A and B are shown apart, each in its own frame.
Chain A
Amino acid sequence: MIRLDGVSRVFGAGPSRVPALTDVTFGVDKGEFVVLTGASGAGKTTLLRLLYRDERPTEGAIEVAGFDLRAMRRRDVPRLRRSIGVVFQDAKLLAGRTVFENVAFVLRVLGTPRREITPRAFAALKAVGLTARAQADPHQLSQGEAQRASLARAIVKSPALLIADEPTGNLDEDMAEEILAIVKDFWTRGTTVLFATHQSKLVTLLKRRTLRLEHGLLVKDEG
């Protein structure tokens, strides 16, 4: 599903050169649940952005869901992203649209047949336990609910890969565990998951294969 080979990403040039990632190599098989950890600024977000082609590597090769990201043309990026669901620390729900409309928005934008939109959106909301809040506005949601809505939006298109960039970063322990449970549920249904967190408690709780980054270097790959 994911293959990185000698990947480096450097920002800037000359004296202001900042190596965000250096010579990172690893693979993630289909159906795996992998935790990506490291302190803030270790390079987790940069690595994840490389995977959905929001950044390009300075060196090295990347393959995701069968796409060669280095050789990929800009116009092919949407095809890659349709197979990836992304969740961030900030839920990024759209104001002026209800929870249901936020989830359905993804399907509309991708040209899903009209008759499929409502059932699929409600199925995604049910999977995250938010059907009762479908007509709520984003500002009416708690942080945990907002993050669940964000998860529903990420999985409504049935992605092969779910990338979660610190989705529990703004949540308390109980809410974080709720989110984790939902993500694990997606994983058990066959979605490959790459879960980034700096919280060591969560890493311990998850008991999954763990990749550890320190100053842009992959220092540990265990589990």
Chain B
Amino acid sequence: MLSFLLNEAFRDLRRAGRVGVSAILLIALSLAALGGFWLLSLNLGRAVAQWRDRVRIVAYLRDEVPPGQVDDLLGRIEGVGGIQRVRYVSKNEALQVVKRALGRQADVADQLPRNPLPASVEVTPDPAHATPDGNRELVQRLAALPEVDDVQGGAHWVEGLAQFQRLFQLVGLGVGAVLALAAILTVTTATTLVLHLRRDEMEIMRLVGATESVIRLPRVLQGLAQGLFAGTLALAVLEVAFALVAPRLELLLPVTLGLSRAVFLSIPQMLALIGGGATLGAMGGLLATRQAAA
């Protein structure tokens, strides 16, 4: 029976002709668009995660702490909670940083009667506090410490990037959903055409006692096959596009997003894309057979 159903499904695929090919192309287009947005969102997400890890808050101290008391201070600061790492920066180290930044004008700093830069503690928030709200909370707690004069820094701009990534995902889903709906309707049309061409066969099948599932399954399988083919085609298009575009972005990515390179979809993600195509196709086939039965 299975070989009969598959034979009938492939017979239908051939009969669907140009409409069937249109269905495949439309599903491939919607999956390629979805896949494209997914790919971009994936790499943006990597950038967001990476930058979140680099967020720093700097707590400027009222007075420099003697070397023997640095560990105590760092311990009290870690004690406010929400902190992944702390690092003490002495007045002298701060001055050396400024001198390096000044370059050839570094001797200007030597003209100063005294080192005006305060000692500070660089605080790296834990992931839960690497958000604007988390940052705000941590800044308030740090500012309440008696040793701390001022607190600066935060994750606002990283959160801006994260919001952009979420918006991008939503737009991608929206565009993908519209295209997917169009794809389902096209598969439905292709299957309806086949049903029309096969109405004599289906009449005979019903007359001799074939069950509805035997009559419908080849149409669903037809849609599934169209979707599988379309998913594979979409993936191939994405791979070619990625292979062409990614090398050209290698210089820009470190500067703009802080990424060394872009990555492609993982194997499970690729399989999900192809599986999505198969699902769209099968849904189109099922819809057509239900409409015909009604």
Contacts and interface: CB of A to CB of B under 8 A. Distances in A.
B214 A109 contact: yes
Interface in B189-215: 200-201, 203-212, 214
Nearest to A102: B204
A180 interface: no
Interface stretch (A36-44, A80-88, A122-130, A208-216): A80-88
A219 interface: no
A92 B204 contact: yes
In this complex, the interface size class of chain B, counting residues with CB under 8 Å from chain A, is 10 to 19
Interface of B is mostly: helix
A157 B208 contact: yes
Contacts of A83: 209
B108 interface: no
Contacts of B203: 92
B38 to A, nearest CB: 42
Contacts of A157: 208-209
B208 to A, nearest CB: 5
A81 B201 contact: no
B204 A81 contact: no
A124 to B, nearest CB: 13
A150 B71 CA distance: 98
A81 B206 contact: yes
Contacts of B294: none
Given A92-B200, A94-B200, A109 B212 contact: no
A217 B209 CA distance: 30
Contact of B204 (A52, A75, A84, A94): A94
Contacts of B211: 75, 78
B20 to A, nearest CB: 17
Nearest to B7: A108
A110 interface: yes
A109 B210 contact: yes
A73 interface: no
22 contacts: A75-B211, A75-B212, A78-B206, A78-B209, A78-B211, A81-B207, A82-B208, A92-B203, A94-B201, A95-B200, A105-B204, A106-B208, A109-B4, A109-B210, A110-B210, A111-B1, A111-B4, A111-B214, A153-B204, A153-B208, A157-B208, A157-B209
Interface of B: 1, 4, 200-201, 203-212, 214
Q: Which 3 residue pairs of A and B lie closest in terms of their CB atoms, listed nearest first?
A: A82-B209, A81-B209, A109-B210
